[in-house]
Amino acid sequence: MTTDLKLYQIGTFAAGNRLLDPDERSVQADPGRANAITSGHRACQGCGEALGARFVLDAAIRAAGGDIVTANATGCLEVFSTPYPESAWQLAWVHSLFGNVAAVASGIAAALKAQGREHVRVVAQAGDGGTVDIGLGCLSGMFERNDDVLFVCYDNQGYMNTGVQRSGATPPAARTATTKPVGAEPGNVFGQGKDLPRIAMAHEIPYVATATVADLRDLERKVEKAMSMHGARYLHVLVPCPLGWASASQDTIRLARLATQSGLFPVFEAEHGVVTATTPIRQRVPVEDYLVLQGRFSHLFGEHGRPDVVARIQAGADHNIARYALAPDPEVVPHD
């Protein structure tokens, strides 16, 4: 069987695993996969975070030969997976607090080193609030000490667990419970928020990557790459949230893909502070295609729509595309 199949050849991002050599198949295609987060948990239908966490951890477990321990920040992932006396985790898992998961993971890594058990690898998981806001101090400390931890941020762009409030990762104009679409500047403000992958890169850690749940093979590959390295590694995964984004459950993958294809979410890798690879946009779309599917942007459309705000969002996407050279053609495919 050939191994140089073009995964994109059929116009979708999917590729039949049975067409590939066993080595090329996804972790999830393996009936012996770890299934780190098993069924029966209480995530919402269409939850991007639950999907992302399963792919990340199963790939990490395979890469580490099963020797994984994980620390989890407070947040949706923690709440929906561990309502006592149930647990969806089929791996060693600890939850301490909201803002300290990076430090907890550093402590675990230090313990394993002192015990001579360095073959056991550490993965820390948090949502965007636990990463870019309340957890940033501990995370920055973990980065600068280059502790042997893979930190995964599942970014759903807001505090969804507490009822959809704005976080430092909420995009401009988005409606949240604390950025309502009222007043002259509806939704979240422009010009704020944190670009955590770039903040991570500024620490010059061995590996930084972004990924989405639209391209799960890419996500698995990046986890495997991260696990092949030591030191502080950071993976930022865009995980659409039907509840917080007011989107249809079946649109989770579609929205993640539109986020990348519009340029709003650049997909790239960086090593020691330098971008080493980007995922080019295959089929560029206007940001409107992405925004219009989400109730959190509904105030930008319709009779009282705000094309001026949509244009500002488009400018942000264009900036990303230029910054990471994501598309050779600057022209946006017209929306019809």
Partner 1 sequence: MLRQVEGSRAVADAVARCRPQVIAAYPISPQTHIVEALSDLVRTGELAPCEYLMVESEFGALSACIGASAAGARAYTATASQGLLFMAEAIPNASGLGLPVVMTVANRAIGAPINIWNDHSDAMSQRDAGWIQLFAESNQEAVDLHVQAFVLAERLSLPVMVCMDGFVLTHAVEEVDVPEQDVVDSLLPPFVPRQVLDPAAPVTIGAMVGPEAFTEVKYLAAVQQLRALEEIPVVAEEFTRATGRTSGGLVSRYRTDDAETVVVAMGSVLGSVKDVVDELREDGVRIGAVTVTCFRPWPTDEVREALAGVERVIVLNRAFSVGSGTMLGQDVRLTLTTRAPSPATVPAPATVVHDVVAGLGGRPVTRDSIRALVAAVLGGEVDPDRLHFLDLDRSLLEGEDLTPAAKDAR
* Residue 76 contacts partner 1 per CB under 8 A: no
- Answer yes or no whether residue 280 interacts with partner 1 by CB under 8 A: no
Q: Is 152 in the site for partner 1 (CB under 8 A)?
A: no
Which value, to the nearest 10 degrees, does the dihedral of the CA atoms of residues 308, 310, 316, 322 take?
Answer: -100
Q: Any contact of residue 97 with partner 1 (CB under 8 A)?
A: yes
For residues 95 and 175, which CB has a smaller minimum distance to partner 1 in the complex?
Answer: 95
CB closer to partner 1 out of 3 and 115: 115
Residues 113 to 132 in contact with partner 1, rule: CB under 8 A: 113-116, 120
The length of the chain, given as a count of residues: 336
Please say which residue, 80 or 154, places its beta carbon nearer to partner 1. Answer: 80
Which residue is listed with tokens 């990340």? 56
Phi, psi of 235 (to 5 degrees): -125, 125
Bridge-based pairing of strands 149-155 and 207-212 is unpaired
Note whether 94 binds partner 1 by CB under 8 A: yes
Candidate ranges 78-86, 205-213, 260-268, 283-291; the one touching partner 1 (CB under 8 A): 78-86
Task: Give yes or no for a contact between 268 and 323, defined as CB atoms under 8 angstroms apart.
Answer: no
Q: If we measure between CA atoms, which residue out of 198, 207, 81, 47 comes closest to residue 132?
A: 198
Q: Could you give the CA distance from residue 226 to residue 206 in angstroms, rounded to a whole number?
A: 9
Output phi, psi for 312, to 5 deg.
Answer: -65, -35
Query: Does 107 participate in binding partner 1 (rule CB under 8 A)?
Result: yes
Among 93, 154, 159, 324, binds partner 1 (CB under 8 A): 93
Q: Which is nearer to partner 1, 110 or 229 (CB)?
A: 110
E strand or H helix that includes residue 197: helix 196-202
* Residue in 59, 123, 126, 138 binding partner 1, rule: CB under 8 A: 138
In sequence order, the 6+-apart residues with CB closer than 8 A to the CB of 164 are: 158, 176, 177, 243, 244
**Sole binder of partner 1 in the list 27, 69, 211, 267 (CB under 8 A):** 69
Q: Does 77 bind partner 1 (CB under 8 A)?
A: no
Q: Which residues bind partner 1 (CB under 8 A)?
A: 66-69, 71-72, 78-79, 82-85, 87, 89-97, 99-100, 103-116, 120, 137-138, 140-141, 144-145, 147
